[in-house]
Amino acid sequence: MTDTTALLPMRTGEIRIHDAEGFEGMRKAGRLVAECLDMLVGEVKPGVTTRHLDDLVREFVLDHGAQSATIGYRGYRHASCISVNHVICHGIPGGKPLKEGDIANIDVTCILDGWHGDHSRMYAVGEVKRKAERLMDVTYEAMMAGINAVKPGARFGDIGGAISEIAHLNRMSVVEDFCGHGLGRLFHDEPNVVHSSAYGTGPELKPGMFFTVEPMLNIGRKDAAILPDGWTAVTRDRQLSAQFEHSIGVTETGFEIFTQSPKGLHTPHTVKQ
Ligand code: MF3
Ligand code: CO
Ligand code: CO
């Protein structure tokens, strides 16, 4: 009997430094998951169930020689998390159809040749209200501001500092109960990437570190609650929440985004044109 877990590195408590082979692996895994989210763009519309979208994700991942990282993860049974409106994250796909005006985050993690690509975007279902549009735009801007702070010698706190600054300037709040994370051959590795941290704090960023930046912003208060299903995280005040996620690597001069959309469909905005 083969113990496959023996092939995986252990969590050491240290932040792993990867080499060129790691970058190559992450590029392929990241690209696949970005292509998967590109594929969904024409499929997210009123009347479609999130279960159907999850079926499309599962088939896409398997058809491309990859595995879903979430099926079987801590008892989770789906290839995606789909978080609609006031759901912050970890929404479970199901039989409820999407309706005009909804906003949805779709988060997919695949494993390709042992490397994890973890990526999420917001989708607008038909025409959405200005308030929802603004929340999505600000959340994307906050994620990119966090990523743009990444370079050797900067600190992890600079990422959360930049994210919080954008959120607060726009009178929105940053969810503190969920973080980004190191990833690579492991799905969730060191460190926790905190989205509400302060400039100049936390560990130093070094070339070869791989992690996600995945801020969740709320229109109302930052507080979260978990529904009785044990997964679904919602805003306590039931106001809208949005999230974007990229998997990135620290390079000698800055960062590389592994999950860039090949078609440039990274926000609902760019989709509409
Ligand atoms: N993809 C999520 C993340 O960004 C994790 C989902 S775990 C699941 O880390 F089990 F809920 F799918
Ligand atoms: Co993640
Ligand atoms: Co994710």
Domains of the chain: 14-271 (3.90.230.10)
Ligand 1 atom showing the smallest separation from residue 81 Cα: 12
pLDDT at 13: 83
Q: If you write DSSP's letter for every residue of 122-177 in order, what string do you get?
A: EEE-SS--HHHHHHHHHHHHHHHHHHHT--TT-BHHHHHHHHHHHHHHTT-EE--S
Say whether pLDDT at 121 is over 60.
Answer: yes
Centre of ligand 3 from the C-alpha of residue 1, in Å = 31
User: Which residues keep their CB under 5 angstroms from ion ligand 3?
Assistant: 107, 118, 245
Say whether pLDDT at 1 is over 80.
Answer: no
Which phi and psi angles does 181 have, rounded to 5°? -160, 150
Q: What share of the chain in percent tops pLDDT 70?
A: 96
Say whether pLDDT at 248 is over 50.
Answer: yes
Burial class (CB in 10 A: 0-12, 13-18, 19+), 51: middle
At 252-268, the pLDDT tens digits run: 999 999 999 999 998 88
Say whether pLDDT at 2 is over 70.
Answer: no
At 147-173, the pLDDT tens digits run: 999 999 999 999 999 999 999 999 999
Centre of ligand 1 from the C-alpha of residue 226, in Å = 14
At 167-207, the pLDDT tens digits run: 999 999 999 999 999 999 999 999 999 999 999 999 999 99
